[in-house]
């Protein structure tokens, strides 16, 4: 399996992370990619530089207003003269009878859901690089590859059409799915991140052509708290095309595999012809954002189960944070997939 990667992700190096009122260094660090690269090397995956697709793939998913905000946000922020080293919103209007603001502080609040996505001078470049990685992987699958892995950083599945959240600015998973739609009438997304893929769900919630399934830690007590419940099934033409499978905190391998069996039933009924896997490795028992307890062998089993869905597949890297086992878990899930093909 080929792997798409670019060093351009390093331009995004966030520092701020607010956890229960305590400011810490964010867990979404450039070092994540270094550990994932070790996992790719252990699996003997060939690294390929992404193609520069420009705004096209991003514009299929995100609004022009939002893309313009992200592109120019840092320059507007720096021009204030008295602003901090990262862009953190101090308002979140929730858009109740609101008017779109023209001031950068107002726009920052409008376009960010939480404080977990600080914008720095290199954030736009890094986020765009990640979308090129995702689109390149999707294009290779459209061109005939059985499966391709996209090492995207920053991640994307919490990003909505016009809002950033949860470390995510541009939704790489949704961009890969929308790109695949150029050649496939029905595309499925399977999100195995420990956090619910709320942005991906939001983007496709009223669409019948993209099935979204998310297996994640129960949002009753885990981020994102207000999305990811089992009763969220889609709306309008997309009713029935969204499945959330929240799992009790601490669920291990066997419980996770049962959830995948349920997901497979939904896939079979939907009959997609291509698959995007939002590959969060933070379901690991050793992840610092501990929510679930999947072992390295469990990730191998997950990879084999995904292979059994027998679809052209794009793996898009989402979560998975700094633990000694991160690279080994990536090796395991891709190796499990390849071994079962």
Catalytically active residues are 158
Q: Strand, helix or coil at 69?
A: helix
Spatial separation of the C-alpha atoms in residues 141 and 336, rounded to whole Å: 19
Give, in degrees to the nearest 5, the angle at Cα 275 between 274 and 280. Answer: 165
Crossing angle between the packed helical segments 64-78 and 123-142, to the nearest 10 degrees: 150
Contact residues for 267 (Cβ-Cβ < 8 A; gap 6+): 188, 190, 211, 213, 275, 309
Structure tokens at 145: 């590859």
DSSP designation for 238 = G
Classify residue 50 by its DSSP letter.
P
CA gap 293, 291 in Å, rounded: 7
Taking phi over 0 as left and psi of -120 to 50 as alpha, with beta for the rest, 93 belongs to alpha
Q: What is the Cα–Cα distance from 173 to 155, expressed in whole angstroms?
A: 9
Q: The tokens of 90 are what?
A: 């101090």
Q: How far apart are CA 44 and CA 112, in angstroms?
A: 38
Alpha-carbon gap, residue 281 to 317, rounded angstroms: 8
């Amino acid at each position: 399996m080929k792997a798409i990667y670019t060093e351009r992700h390093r331009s995004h190096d966030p520092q701020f992370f607010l956890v229960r009122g305590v400011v810490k260094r964010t867990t979404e660090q450039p070092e994540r990619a270094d550990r994932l690269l070790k996992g790719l090397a252990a699996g003997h995956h060939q690294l390929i530089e992404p193609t520069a697709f420009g705004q096209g793939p991003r514009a299929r998913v995100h609004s022009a207003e939002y893309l313009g905000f992200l592109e120019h946000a840092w320059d507007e922020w720096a021009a204030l003269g008295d602003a901090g080293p990262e862009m953190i919103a101090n308002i979140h209007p929730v858009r109740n009878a609101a008017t779109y603001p023209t001031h950068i502080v107002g726009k920052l609040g409008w376009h960010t859901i939480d404080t977990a996505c600080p914008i720095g001078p290199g954030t736009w470049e890094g986020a765009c690089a990640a979308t090129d990685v995702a689109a390149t992987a999707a294009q290779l699958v459209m061109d005939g590859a059985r499966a391709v892995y996209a090492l995207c950083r920053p991640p994307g599945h919490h990003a909505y059409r016009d809002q950033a959240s949860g470390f995510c600015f541009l939704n790489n998973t949704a961009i890969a799915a929308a790109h695949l739609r150029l050649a496939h009438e029905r595309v499925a997304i399977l999100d195995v991140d420990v956090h619910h893929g709320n942005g991906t769900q939001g983007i496709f919630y009223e669409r019948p052509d993209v099935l979204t399934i998310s297996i994640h830690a129960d949002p009753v007590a885990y981020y994102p708290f207000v999305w990811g419940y089992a009763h969220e099934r889609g709306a309008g033409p997309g009713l029935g095309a969204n499945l959330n499978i929240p799992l009790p905190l601490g669920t291990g391998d066997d419980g996770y595999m049962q959830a995948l069996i349920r997901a497979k039933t939904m896939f079979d009924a939907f009959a997609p012809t291509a698959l995007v896997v939002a590959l969060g490795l933070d379901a690991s028992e050793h992840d610092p954002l501990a929510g679930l307890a999947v072992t390295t062998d469990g990730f191998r089993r997950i990879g084999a189960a995904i292979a059994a869905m027998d679809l052209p597949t794009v793996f898009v890297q989402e979560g998975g944070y700094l633990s000694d086992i991160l690279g080994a878990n990536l090796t395991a899930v891709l190796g499990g997939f390849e071994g079962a093909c």
